[in-house]
Amino acid sequence: MKKETCLIKIQKRLPDDIIVVDETPFEFTDDEFICILSWIKYFNAHYKEYGKEKYPDVMFPIISKRLRLDFGIYRVPNKNEPYRGKYIIYLSQNGKRMDGTVKKNLTIKELVNTWHL
């Protein structure tokens, strides 16, 4: 399935006031897509109970060795264009550093240690 189709299907499952923003440069595998949908289901159950009052217990679900969801700032409206005022859940690349570079060849051990799994 094309990434654009996956993103539409993900967005349809989110509350109306939250958008998904994809920061990844790659297409999702079928397994990654299914895992994302499972975590969105988890998020929706949390959101139904708490809304924007409380963060989920799992804020950065690891989808695969290369991909994670970021629920870490969905409670705060974005201050930057083009998403000013929007509440966002990000699809992020594992290994992406604050300066925008990406660490190549992440090992399982590095992921486990980084995310305290």
Is the pLDDT assigned to residue 115 strictly greater than 90? no
Q: What is this structure's pTM?
A: 0.89
Residue 99 makes CB contacts below 8 A (sequence gap 6+) with: none
Each residue's pLDDT tens digit, 8-60: 999 999 999 999 999 999 999 999 999 999 999 999 999 999 999 999 999 99
Orientation angle between helical segments 30-50 and 3-13, nearest 10 degrees: 20
pLDDT (tens digit, 9 = 90+) per residue, 4-13? 999 999 999 9
C-alpha span between 14 and 7 (Å, rounded): 11
